[in-house]
């Protein structure tokens, strides 16, 4: 269940709300009584690259040169 917090209160309680969001609590920030933004914890996948995760999913045609017509279209010729 989400907790709804007014922006003014959120400013004064930011550290506490940040800890709650990090712990998994969804925090809805309200402005003039209307939902405005949401604080949620980041998932582990957000921001991280995993090289090789698409291995085996790209066919050999991916590495073939593009046809001249395709190259011309991309270059605006």
As a whole number, mean pLDDT of residues 18-47 equals: 88
pTM listed for this prediction: 0.54
Q: For the sheet with 34-39, list strands across it.
A: 3-6, 27-31, 34-39
Separation between Cα atoms, residue 45 and residue 26, nearest integer Å: 18
Choose which CATH entry (3.40.50, 1.10.287, 3.40.1620, 3.90.79) describes domain 3-39.
Answer: 3.40.1620
Q: Is the pLDDT of residue 15 over 90?
A: yes
Separation between Cα atoms, residue 21 and residue 28, nearest integer Å: 10
pLDDT tens readout for residues 52-73: 877 788 888 888 998 999 999 9
């Amino acid at each position: 269940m989400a907790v709804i917090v007014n922006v003014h209160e959120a400013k004064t309680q930011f550290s506490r709300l940040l800890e709650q969001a990090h712990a998994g609590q969804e925090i809805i920030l309200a402005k003039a009584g209307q939902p405005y933004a949401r604080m949620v914890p980041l998932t582990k996948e957000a921001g991280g690259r995993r090289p090789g995760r698409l291995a085996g999913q790209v066919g050999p045609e991916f590495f073939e040169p593009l046809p001249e017509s395709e190259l011309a279209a991309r270059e605006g010729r």
